Amino acid sequence: MSDPTTAGSTAGAPHSDALVIFGFTGDLASKKIFPALYAMVKAGALTVPVIGVASSKWNTDQLHRRVRDSVERESGIDDPPAFDRLISLLRYVCGDYKDPATFTALKAALGRAERPAHYLAIPPALFATVIRSLGAAGLGGNARVIVEKPFGRDLASARELDAIAHSVFPELSIFRIDHYLGKEAIMNILYFRFANSFLEPIWNRDRVASVQVTLAESFGVGQRGGFYESAGCLRDVVENHLFQIVALLAMEPPAYQSFAAVHSAKSSVFHAMQPLTPGDVVRGQYAGYREERDVAADSDVETFCALRLFIDSWRWAGVPWYLRAGKRLPNTAVEVLVQLRPPPQKLFDDARPAMGRANYLRFRLQPTSAIALAARVKRQGKEFVGDQRELYLCEDAENGETTYQRLLGDAMAGDSALFTSQDAVEAAWAVVDPVLANHYAALPYAPGTWGPGAADALIAGDGGWHNPEQNPRTEA
């Protein structure tokens, strides 16, 4: 995989000649998509028409104002001519997604475009409706469809959605977005694992005691209460984002230099995961969630989820993996801690487990990117005592190309390298399916804490959680 931006491309695949964005007036478009489009225009990667589709009755001035406000807020406009070029590419179709007339109007707006890419930045409940309508309107031929996660609500609905998508689009034209796969820090996990030979001798059940992944958010559900009531933390970020991180950490070396081999190796990890049981999962709900907009007064939806899972592979048999995600936690950060086993002989008294964690490898993925190795170093003097210190192996600034800039550009070019396969989607749902309905009630936790106490009990036998701090350089 000499170049991850091209290694997954379909040979000879033509570039999309238009980009259609369903959900053009939504929160995702405002926060992520408009700035990405501006960046693509600046880079010369977007020169085709962009047609927005939504139910809001915007006029041209409102459309342009919304895009300008979004770009100014999220990234700033440092290239006015490029922003003007973006504005010149925009078209807008107002209509109900359930009304065939909306798709007739879309067909007219596309004009001579023959290979559009349809991006569904809409609630998952509307995916099937829009895909079927695209097919009925004759807008599926030679086109691509880009589907935001989550892909279904469970294994059965994921398979149903896949069948609907395949009734209109061939597999090579279906792009399943998990935006975590486009993040530079996530891509660095894959590179770091297989570009460095010193890791392989210790990257197994004999040297790794446990692995934990934390995705913490200091904010609540905000205006997304209605969505969260239909999803919850397990569906929203654990089954997709955190599972993708686990797959990159746990996968076997790809058999050959290709992203197809990477996809296969990652899918094997999902297939090897033991299905979860209620005892493996702790669900929590922050105090005040039920007062949020569009949230039921008796809601049992989890805003926090911690789980323990096992991967039945030769490399990882018996090693517990602990995943944790939640809202209204002390800070916003994503970190991985690979806990190594202590030395077999307690040669030095201060190296006992009671003195703290054994050596570990830490990946800081958000808000900054860093990789650190914790090792014990002797203090000056005659006594053989020391302290554990982190050796920073890498700390990179954010890549200039944003996640959605990269993923939208790849999809329009027919490059599936950073997208999720249906096999991986189904295998991941199979792991969580047993606990989606059969689970314990969500436990309350105070905002600003690390979730309910039961989450600490879940991992107590493996040294406890590592809580990411705002300033990672102060951690040891």
- Residues involved in catalysis: 241
C-alpha span between 448 and 83 (Å, rounded): 40
Asked whether the CA dihedral 211, 474, 450, 219 is positive or negative, the reply is negative
Strand order from edge to edge, sheet including 320-326: 386-396, 369-378, 360-366, 333-340, 208-216, 320-326, 304-310, 281-286, 443-445
Asked whether the beta carbons of 118 and 103 are under 8 A apart, the reply is no
C-alpha span between 179 and 153 (Å, rounded): 18
Strands 333-340 and 360-366: antiparallel
C-alpha span between 149 and 158 (Å, rounded): 11
Residue matched to tokens 């969630």:
289
Q: Which two tokens stand for residue 457?
A: 């009990």
C-alpha span between 239 and 428 (Å, rounded): 6
Cα dihedral: 31, 172, 242, 7 (round 10): -90
Bridge partner residues of 256 (DSSP): none
C-alpha span between 92 and 52 (Å, rounded): 5
CA-nearest of 366, 448, 344 to 189 is 366
Q: Which two tokens stand for residue 267?
A: 């899918």
Asked whether the beta carbons of 52 and 91 are under 8 A apart, the reply is yes
User: DSSP character for 253?
Assistant: P
CA-nearest of 447, 430, 465, 379 to 155 is 430
C-alpha span between 148 and 476 (Å, rounded): 38
